[in-house]
Structure 1
Amino acid sequence: MAPFVIACVEPHLVPIQFVFIRLLNRVIDSVKHDVAHTFSAVFLSQPNVFTHQRICFEEGDIALSPAKDIMLAIRNKCQVNSEDWSSKDKNFGNKNAPYAVFNALDYMLKDSLERLRTMRENISSVKIGLQGYTCENNYTEHTVTLRYLCLEGKLGAALWLRRKMVQKGILPDVFTHNHIVNGLCKIGLVEKADWLIREMLEFGPHPSCATFNNLIKAYCVVNTVDKALSLFSTMANIGIQPNRITCNILVHSLCKKGLLKEAKKMLEDILHDDDDKDVPDLVTSTILMDNYFKNGETIEALSFWNEMLQKCTKVDVVAYNVLINGFCKSQQTKFAYGIACEMLKKGLLPDAFTYNSLIGALCKKGNTNEACYIFQVMSKMGIMPDQISYKIMIQGLCFKGDIARAKELLRCMLDNLMVPKPLIWNLIIDFYGRCRDVSNAFFTRDQMLAFGVRPNVFTYNALVVALLKSGDIYDACSLKEEMPLKGLFPDVVTYNLLIGAACNLGRVGFALQLHGEMLQRGYEPDLITYTELLKGFCIRGKMKEAEELYAKILKSGLLTDHVPVQILFSMYCKRKDPVVAFNFYQDWLASKGRSYPY
C-alpha cells in the first residue's frame, strides 16, 4: 500500500505521506495487540474453544501464535464457531461464546475506525499547515529576490518573477512594487513605470506616496514637468496625500525652468503637521532661496532666509552654504564672511562646499593670496580639499599667471594620491600654450599619460594653440591627424584654430580645404569659422568672395556681433571707399534691428 500511496501523490507531498504511513503502521500494531490481548482472555475463559483451536492448528500443521497472525486466528475462530453451530450440539459448550467473540470484534473494529478517522483529520490539518507555511515561505523568498534584482538593475528578471507570482495568485506588496518602479525610473524606462502604476491602481496593491514620488522625480529629470504635475493632481484624485518630498521635487524642477512664481505657490501647498503649520519647510525654502540668488533677486532670497529664522526653523549647513554661495556670486564677499562666522557661532562646522564658495569668489576677484590662505585654513580645520577645491585654485592661479604655485598644488594632489581630472591638467597645458611654452605643454601631457589620465579633445586643442602660437602650423595639423589614432576626433574649435592660422598666413586655399574637411565630417561651421574665412579673403584682397561670404552670414542668421562688419568696414576704409563701408554698416544695423525688434 505504501508504494501505491507514494506514487499517486504529488512530489512535494511525499513527506506527508510518509508521516501517514508511519502512523497507520502504528495503529495496525496497536490493533493487533488489542485483538491478541482480548482473544487470549476469551480463549482462557473458554477452554474447549481454545483446545479445539489448538487442535485445528495442529491438524493443519500450522504453528502460529495469535499475536503474529491475529487476523488468521480471527477467521479460524469464526469458522470453528460456524461449524459448531451446524453440529448437533447447538450450545458448543457455552451458548454465549459466539456472541462474546463477535461483540469484542465489533468493538475493536469500531475503535479502530474511530482512530483512523481522527488520524486522517489530524493528517489533513498538518498538511494544510505545512502548505500554508510553504506558501508563506515562498512569498517571502520571492519578494526578497525581486527587490534584490531591482537593486542590481536586473529589471527584466524582476518583471518576469513578478509576472510568475501574479500567475500563481501571489501579489507582491507595495514596498516591492516601489522597488520595481524606482528601478525602471533609474534606467530611464519612465513609460514602463507609468504602466506599472496604472496596473497597480487597477489590480493592486494600491500605490503609496513613495510610488508616485519615484515617477514624479523621473519625469522631472527628463524635463517633462507637465506630466509630473499631472501625476501630482492624480494623487489627490485617488486619495493619496502628497508629502513634503513630493512638493520639494516639483519645486526644484519648476525652479530649474525659471518658474519661480509657480514654485513659490507650490511651497504654500506643502503639507504641514498639525503642530507646525506656521513653520516653513526647510528644504523647499532653501531651494527657492538658491534659485532667487541665481536669478540675481537677492532681496527675495533674503526674505526666505529671514522667514526661516523668525519662525524658528532649525537651519542646517546646507541652508548656510546656499546663503554664502549667493553672496559670493553677487561679489559680496564681506557678507559671505559674516555668514560663515555666524555659522561657526551656532556650532555648525563649514564643509568643503563652504570653503569652495569663498575660494571661488576670491579667485574671481583676482585675490589669489587670500584664496590660498583660505585653502590652508580649510586643511587645518580637518577638511581635506577635493577636486573642486584644487580646480578652483589652479584655475585662479593660471589666470593670474602664477604657474609656479599652480604646479605646486598639482604636486600636492599627486603626493596625496589624488589623481587630477583631465580638466586640471588642461588648465596648466592651456597656460603653457598661451605663453608659447611648447616644451612644458607637451611635458605636462606626457606626465598626464604617466598617471593614467587619458587626454581629451580639449587637451589636444590646448596643444594646437601652443603650436600655433609658436608659428608651427604643420605640427598643429599633424596633431590633428594624430587624434583619430587615439580614439578622438577634432571638433569645431580645432578646425577654427587651424582655419584662423591658415588665414593669418594668407593661405586661404588651405583654409578652404580645412573648411571642406569640416563639412565632410558633419560639423556645422559657426560664426567664428566664417569670420576667419572672411578675414582671409580680405587679407588676400578677394573682396568679391568676402562680400558673398558676408551675404551668406546674413542669410544664415549667425551674425550676432560686429566683428565681420568691422573687418569689412576697416578694409574698405583702407581702400578709400567709405561709401561701401557705410553701406555695410547700415546693413548690419538693419539685420540687428530684425533680430531684436524690441
Structure 2
Amino acid sequence: MALLAAFGESPFLHVHIAFLRFLNQFVYIKHDVGQMVVGIFRSQPKKDRNGRTLCEEYMLSSSARDLISNMGKKCLLDAENWSREGNFGDKNAPQAVFNALDNMLKDSLERLQKMRKSITLVKADLAEYTCKFNYIEYTAIIRMLCLEGKLGAAFWLRSKMLQKGFLPDVFTHNHLVNRLCKMGLMEKADWLIKQMSELGPSPNCATYNTFIKGYCLTNNLDKALHLFSTMTCAGIQPNKVTCNILVHALCGKGLLKEAKILFEKILDDGGGEAKPDLVTSTIFMDYHFKNGAMIKALSLWDELHQKNGKVDVVAYNVIIHGLCMNQKMNLAYGYACEMLKKGLLPDVFTYNTLISALSKEGKIDDACYLLGVMFKMGIMPDHISYNIMMKGLCLKGYAARAKQLLQFMLDHIMLPKPLLWNLLIDCYGRCGDLSNAFFMKDQMLAFGVRPNVFTYNVLINAQVKIGNFYDAYSLKEDMVLNGVCPDLVTYNLLIGAACNLGNLSFPLLLLDEMLKMRYEPDLITYTELIRGYCMRGSIKEAEELFARIQKSGLLIDHVPVQILFNKYCKLEEPVMAFNFYQDWLANKRYCHLH
C-alpha cells in the first residue's frame, strides 16, 4: 500500500499489486526490501557528516553491496535518478522496482539451492570418510584383541561390523583364526573358515597355513594332512611355509621318510627345484640330533653352508643344542665362537642351552660365569635362565648362593615364580636349615607369591626327616586354612611319618581321609603301611595288604618285597621267606607275559 501511495493509482498497477500480494504470502524479505526502496523514493535524500546521502551510506555497507551485485548497476542508477529528479509518476519506475525485487528473489533462491547442494556434498564426503575411518579403526581393534587373547570381544566387534555392512578383510580374519588355533578351538576355527568361504573374504594361503599349524599343535596330524590335500581343490597353492609346518610335525612324530616325500612333492608342484631352504634344513638337522644321528646332522650343516652360505642364529642354536645333548661341549663352544666371528650375536636361547649343559655336568662355577657374560653382552636372562641356575645351585646344596641369585632377581624388579621359591625352600630343608626354609616361605607371602602344595610338601618332608610328625601334621592343617588342598604326596609323607611312631591307628585315619578326598592309594602308600605292620609284628595284615597290591594291578617294585622278606628272616622263618620270594617272581613273570 506504501508503494501505491508513492506512485499513484493507474490501471497498469492492478496487475503488479496482485503479483506483490502473492509474493508477500511466501517471501517476507521482499516486502521489507520494497518498503526500504519506497522510503528512499518518497523522501528527499538526507546527508550525513561526510556529505553522503543515507542511500549512498546504505549502499556502502556490506548488505547494500550484496544488493547492488544482485540488482544490477543499471537498475540502481535508474532508481537514483528517479529519486533525485522526483519522477515518481513515471510509468517505467514501478516496473524497474519490481524487476529489481524479482532479481533479488531469484538470486536468493539460487544461492539457497547452491548452499543445499554444498551441504549435501559435504555430508556425503564426511559420511564416506567416517565409514572408512571406522572400518580401519574396527579392524585394528579386532587384531589387537586377538593378540591379547580377548576372543569374545573380537567376535562381538566383528558381528557389529557385519550388521553395519562392513566385512573385515582377510588379514583380520587370519588373526582370528590364529588365536582360535593357539587356544585349541579348532572347531570354531573350522566354522570361521567355512563362513569366510561362503560370505567372504576368501581364505588365502596364510589362512590354511595357520589352520594346518593349529592341527599340528593339537597333535592331530591326520586332519592337518587332510586339510593340506584340500588346499589345491580350493584353488590355493601350498608354499614353503606349508611345507615347513608339515615337515616339522612329521619329524616330531619320527616320520622322516614321509617328511622328505612331502617336501619334494610340494616343491615339485610349485615348479621349483626340490632344494631345502634354511628353515627346512634346520628342521631336518634338529630331528637328526634328537635321534642321536649326529653325523647326519653335521653333514647336513656342511651341505647347508656350501649351498646357501648364509646361516642365521636359529640354525646355530639348533647345532649348539644338538651338540650339548650329545655331550660334545667343546664342539658347542666352537660353534658359539664361530657365531661371534660371523657377526651373529647369541641370543638368550643360546646362553640357556650352554648354561643348562654346564649345570648338568656339575660345572656350576662355569655356568655362573656364563650368566655374567650374558649381562655384559646386554642380554637379560629370562625366567628359564634363572630356573636353570637355581636348579643347579640347589642340587649342589649351594643354598646361600641360590638365595643371592633370588635376591638379585628381586633387586632387578623380577618377581620369581613359585618354582624358584620352592627350590630354595627344598634346598634349605634338605640341609636341615628349617629356620631359613620357613623364612623363605614368609618372604614368599611378603612379596605376594602364594605358597602352593609343593611348598607345603617340601616343609612337611623337612619336618618328617627330623622326626617332627606333629609339626608336619600342623602344616597340613595350615594348608587347608590357606585354601591349599593336600595331595597324594602329602598323605604319603604323613602316613609314613605316623607309621614310624609305631601307632597304626593314626595312619589308618589318614588313609580314610585320603579315600574321602578321592585319592587312590599308590605303591608308596601300601609300602608305608606294610612297613608299619611289620614294625608292629602284624605279619598277617602285612601279607593281606601285599595281596591287595597284587590284585590292584600296580607294578610292584622290590621295596615291599624286601620289607616282608626281611621280616620273615627276623622271625626265623626261612622257608616262608623263600616261598614268598618264589611266589613274587612267578607273579612278576606272569605280569610280563600278559
TM-score, with structure 2 as normaliser: 0.75
Match for residue 500 of structure 1? 496
525-534 or 258-267: bigger deviation: 258-267
Q: In 2, are the aligned partners of 1:217 and 1:249 still within 8 Å (CA)?
A: yes
Point out the more displaced range, 302-311 or 167-176.
167-176
The 3 A distance-change label for structure 1 pair 256 and 547 is: farther
Match among 543, 559, 563 for residue 559 of structure 2: 563
Partner of 1:372: 368
Q: How big is the shift at 1:189?
A: 3.7
Q: CA deviation at 1:51?
A: 7.8
Alpha carbons of 1:325 and 1:156: their partners in 2 closer, same or farther (altered >3 Å)?
Answer: closer
Matched, 1:520 2:551: no
Shift of the alpha carbon at 1:231?
Answer: 1.9
SS at match of 2:232: helix
Structure 1 residues 465 and 156, CA gap change in structure 2 (3 angstroms): closer
* Range 387-396 or range 256-265, more displaced: 256-265
For 2:586 and 2:500, how far apart are their aligned partners in 1?
A: 26
Relative to 1, partners in 2 of residues 1:69 and 1:133: Cα closer, same or farther, differing over 3 Å? closer
Residue type of the alignment partner of 2:454: F
Q: Does 1:586 align with 2:582?
A: no
Q: Displacement of 1:177 after TM fit?
A: 2.5
1:13 is matched with which residue? none
Question: Which residue type is aligned with residue 579 of structure 2?
Answer: V
TM-superposed deviation, 1:198: 0.9
**In terms of mean alpha carbon deviation, does 385-394 or 330-339 score higher?**
385-394
Indicate the residue corresponding to 1:387 in structure 2: 383
Aligned position for 2:328: 332
Distance 1:158 1:360 in 2: 41
3-state secondary structure, aligned to 1:285: helix
Structure 1 residue 139, shift from structure 2 partner: 4.4
SS of aligned partner of 1:237:
coil
- Give the Å deviation of 1:504: 2.9
Deviations 1:63-104 (A, max 9, x none): x86336867xxxxxxxxxxxxxxxxxxxxxxxxxxxxxxxxx
Partner of 1:206: 202
Residues of 2 paired with 1:124 and 1:159: CA distance?
40
The CA distance in 1 between the partners of 2:355 and 2:283, in whole Å, is 23
| CA deviation profile, 1:443-466 (whole Å, cap 9, x unmatched) | 222233333332221111111111
Kindly provide the amino acid, as one letter, of the partner of residue 373 in structure 1: Y
Counterpart AA for 2:134: E
SS across alignment from 2:402: helix
Secondary structure of the 1:242 match is coil
The offset of 1:437, in angstroms, is 2.1
Shift in Å at residue 200 of structure 1?
A: 1.8
Inter-partner Cα distance in structure 1 for 2:556 and 2:525: 13
Aligned mate of 1:572, from 553, 568, 575: 568
Which of 131, 135, 139 is the aligned partner of 1:138? 131
Pair 1:464 & 2:472 matched? no
Deviations 1:229-250, CA, capped at 9 Å, x for gaps: 2222221211112233333333
* 545, 548, 551: which one aligns with 1:552: 548
The structure 2 residue matched to 1:67, chosen from 98, 103, 116, is 98
Residue 63 (structure 2) aligns with: none
CA offsets 1:172-223 (integer angstroms, 9 cap, x no match): 3322332333344455443222112112212322111122223223333333
- How far apart, in 2, do the equivalents of 1:517 and 1:260 lie? 51
Q: Are the structure 2 counterparts of residues 430 and 547 from structure 1 closer, same or farther at C-alpha, using a change threshold of 3 Å? A: same
Alignment of 1:373-452 (within 5 A): 373-452=369-448
Equivalent-residue separation in structure 1 for 2:470 and 2:348 (angstroms): 45
Would you say 1:217 and 2:202 are equivalent positions? no
Matches of 2:70 and 2:369 in 1, distance apart?
A: 101
- On the 8 A contact 1:433/1:441 being kept in 2, the answer is yes
AA partner of residue 574 (structure 2): K
1:301 aligns with 2:294: no
1:348 to 336, 339, 344: 344
Moved more, 293-302 or 353-362: 293-302
Q: Please say if residues 155 and 180 of structure 1, whose CA atoms lie closer than 8 Å, have aligned partners that are also in contact.
A: yes
Determine helix, strand or coil for the equivalent of 2:97.
coil
Q: Distance in 1 between matches of 2:351 and 2:359?
A: 12
Deviation at 1:271, TM superposition (A): 4.4
Q: How does 1:37-436 map to 2 (within 5 A)?
A: 66-67=97-98, 131=124, 134-135=127-128, 137-152=130-145, 155-156=151-152, 158-163=154-159, 165-166=161-162, 169-269=165-265, 271=267, 277=273, 279-436=275-432
Using the alignment, how far apart are the partners of 1:416 and 1:31 within structure 2?
Answer: 79
When residues 132 and 394 of structure 1 are mapped into structure 2, their CA distance, relative to the original with a 3 A threshold, is closer
**Corresponding position of 1:11:** none
Is 1:32–1:67's contact at 8 Å kept on the other side of the alignment? no
Decide whether aligned partners of structure 1 residues 388 and 178 sit closer, same or farther in structure 2, where only a CA change above 3 A counts.
closer
- Kept in 2: contact 1:327–1:336 (CA 8 A): yes
- What's the offset of the Cα at 1:498? 1.2
> For the residues of structure 2 that align with 1:572 and 1:579, how far apart are their CA atoms?
9
Relative to structure 2, which stretch is displaced further, 443-452 or 460-469? 443-452
Unaligned stretches of 5+ residues in structure 1: 5-28, 45-49, 58-63, 72-107
Deviation string for 1:26-85 (max 9, x for gaps)?
xxx999969x97xx9xxx9xxxxx989579x8xxxxxx86336867xxxxxxxxxxxxxx
Alignment-mate amino acid for residue 586 of structure 1: L
Aligned Cα root-mean-square deviation (Å) = 4.2
Give me the whole-angstrom Cα distance separating, in 2, the residues matched to 1:436 and 1:189.
48
Evaluate the alpha carbon distance shift between residue 282 and residue 570 of structure 1 in structure 2; reply closer, same or farther with a 3 A threshold.
Answer: farther
1:281/1:527 CA distance change after superposition, 3 Å: farther
Paired residue type of 2:585? Q
Moved more, 433-442 or 458-467: 433-442
Q: Supply the AA of the counterpart residue of 2:144.
A: L
Whether the aligned pair in 1 keeps the contact of 2:390 and 2:405 (CA below 8 Å) is yes
CA contact (8 A) 1:448 1:455 kept: yes
- Contact kept, 8 Å, 2:221 with 2:249, in 1: the verdict is yes
Deviation, structure 1 residue 394: 2.8
SS in 2 for 1:490: coil
Using the size of structure 1 for normalisation, the TM-score is 0.75
Whichever residue aligns with residue 562 of structure 1, its letter is: H
| Cα distance in structure 1, aligned partners of 2:191 and 2:177 | 10
Mean CA deviation greater in 293-302 or 520-529: 293-302
CA contact (8 A) 1:495 1:514 kept: yes
What's the CA shift for 1:480?
0.7
CA contact (8 A) 1:506 1:536 kept: yes
- Secondary structure of the 2:580 match is helix
Provide the identity percentage.
58
Find 1:510's aligned residue among 503, 506, 510: 506
- Which residue number corresponds to residue 480 of structure 1? 476
